[in-house]
Amino acid sequence: MSTVELALPARAELGEGACWDARSQTLFWVDILRGRVHQFTPATAACRTFTVGQPVGAAALREAGGLVLALRDGFATLDLDTGALTWIARVEDDRPTQRMNDGRCDAAGRFWAGTMAFDPSPGTGTLYRLDPGGGVTPVLADLTISNGLDWSPDGRTLYFVDSGTQRVDLFDFDPLAGTLSNRREFVRVPDAAGMPDGLVVDADGFVWVALWGGGALHRYATDGALARVVMLPVSHPTSCAFGGPELTDLYVTSASVELTPAALARQPYAGGLFRLRPGVAGRAVHRFAG
Domain boundaries, the chain: 5-276
Average pLDDT over the chain, rounded to whole?
97
Note the pLDDT tens digit of each residue in 100-159.
999 999 999 999 999 999 998 899 999 999 999 999 999 999 999 999 999 999 999 999
Cβ(259)–Cβ(236) below 8 Å: yes
Mean pLDDT, residues 169-195: 98
User: Is residue 2 scored above 80 in pLDDT?
Assistant: no
Concatenating the DSSP letter of every residue in 213-244 gives TTTEEEEE-TTS-EEEEEE-SSS-EEEEEEES
| Closest CA relative to residue 75, chosen from 60, 94, 97, 95 | 60
Please enumerate, as own/partner, the contacts of 157-165 that have beta carbons within 8 Å and a separation of 24 or more.
159/186, 159/199, 159/201, 159/207, 160/127, 161/196, 161/197, 161/198, 161/199, 161/209, 162/125, 163/195, 163/196, 163/197, 163/212, 164/120, 164/122
Q: Per this entry, what is the length of the chain?
A: 290
| Closest CA relative to residue 145, chosen from 110, 167, 114 | 114
Task: Tell me the pTM.
Answer: 0.97
Q: What percent of the chain has pLDDT over 70?
A: 100
User: Is residue 51 scored above 60 in pLDDT?
Assistant: yes
Mean pLDDT, residues 161-185: 98
Q: Return the number of other C-beta atoms located less than 10 Å from residue 225's C-beta.
A: 10
User: Is residue 1 scored above 80 in pLDDT?
Assistant: no
Task: Establish how many alpha carbons lie within 13 A of residue 27's alpha carbon, considering only the half-sphere containing its beta carbon.
Answer: 32
Active-site residues, by number, are: 197
- Distance from C-alpha of 228 to C-alpha of 226, rounded to nearest angstrom: 6
State in words which class domain 5-276 has: mainly beta
Give the pLDDT of residue 90.
Answer: 97
Note the pLDDT tens digit of each residue in 202-259.
999 999 999 999 999 999 999 999 999 999 999 999 999 999 999 999 999 999 999 9
